[in-house]
Amino acid sequence: NAGVTQTPKFQVLKTGQSMTLQCAQDMNHNSMYWYRQDPGMGLRLIYYSASEGTTDKGEVPNGYNVSRLNKREFSLRLESAAPSQTSVYFCASRPWGGSNQPQHFGDGTRLSIL
């Protein structure tokens, strides 16, 4: 059971570089999410996709873009990386948005921007 798979696991970028974080789930879930985790701040939602073909901003969307490529895949792009985007990024999915459905998380991408 792969669940939610994130690639890469680690990445170091220079300021101004771009990159795409990949996420795929094999649970046939409709809703997918991108979070960033910073010390003392918990998990903050960047973008989410309620279903294939839709994406919406979360709490901290600035500096990021997303693509829901298909039902399985949801990517996060940093167009021009900044040191403030140094963080651990988590992708999550669940069957549908709404109550009583836990989110299933990947193991994260640790991103450092120099």
Partner 1 sequence: QQQVKQSPQSLIVQKGGISIINCAYENTAFDYFPWYQQFPGKGPALLIAIRPDVSEKKEGRFTISFNKSAKQFSLHIMDSQPGDSATYFCAAEGRRGANNLFFGTGTRLTVIP
Answer yes or no whether residue 46 interacts with partner 1 by CB under 8 A.
no
Q: Three-class SS string for 68-112?
A: ECCCCEEEEEECCCCHHHCEEEEEEEECCCCCCCCCEECCCEEEE
Query: Peptide bond preceding 8: is omega within 30 degrees of 0, i.e. cis?
Result: yes
Q: In the complex with partner 1, which residue's Cβ is closer, 9 or 77?
A: 9
Among the residue ranges 14-22, 65-73, 78-86, 95-103, the one whose residues contact partner 1 (CB under 8 A): 95-103
Please, what is the minimum distance in Å from the beta carbon of residue 17 to partner 1? 25
The rounded distance, in Å, linking the Cα atoms of 109 and 9 is 4
| Max CA pair span of the chain | 41
Q: Pick one of 11, 17, 50, 65: the residue that binds partner 1 (CB under 8 A).
A: 50
**Shortest spacing between CB 31 and partner 1, in angstroms:** 5
CB nearer to partner 1: give 28 or 102.
102
